[in-house]
Amino acid sequence: MDAQLAREMYKEHILELFKHPHNKGKITSPTHKHEGTNPLCGDEVTIQLQIKDNKIEDVKFDGQGCAISIASVSLLTDHLKNKSVEEVMNMKAQELLDLLQIPISSVRMKCALLCLETTQKALE
């Protein structure tokens, strides 16, 4: 598969996640919660976590934002389930960017990384 075709497929996947995000909703009694915003783009995300025995049992998000922001939080919340708190706190931006699988411009970097920053703040 050529690189251009692959990029187009991943762009379609990002738009699909924007329209139908995974893990959107609320946890009744989260053990951890944090709200994050990106005033430059208008992205707002609230991350709710249910931690048991130092592992992420459940994770949900609520909020609004651009396609990159919503796709990113959807992919991240899928990725976090059953991870330890330590693994999440040590997660680097590149790991999330790798999940997105499309090039992210410097202008959109804050959109893509808002969910990781918000999740790590919830766990502090």
pLDDT tops 60 at residue 1: no
Higher pLDDT, 103 or 72: 72
Give residue-wise pLDDT tens across range 39-83: 988 999 999 999 999 999 999 999 999 999 999 999 999 999 999
Q: What is the pLDDT of residue 43?
A: 96
Give residue-wise pLDDT tens across range 3-32: 676 667 667 888 899 999 999 999 999 999
Q: What is the pLDDT of residue 41?
A: 86
Rounded Cα distance, 45 and 34, in Å = 8
pLDDT tops 70 at residue 118: yes
Q: How many residues does the chain have?
A: 124
Q: Tell me the three-class secondary structure of the chain, residue by residue.
A: CCHHHHHHHHHHHHHHHHHCCCCECCCCCCCEEEEEEECCCCEEEEEEEEEECCEEEEEEEEEECCHHHHHHHHHHHHHHCCCEHHHHHCCCHHHHHHHHCCCCCHHHHHHHHHHHHHHHHHHC
Rounded Cα distance, 22 and 110, in Å = 20
Q: What is the pLDDT of residue 13?
A: 85
Q: What is the pLDDT of residue 63?
A: 96
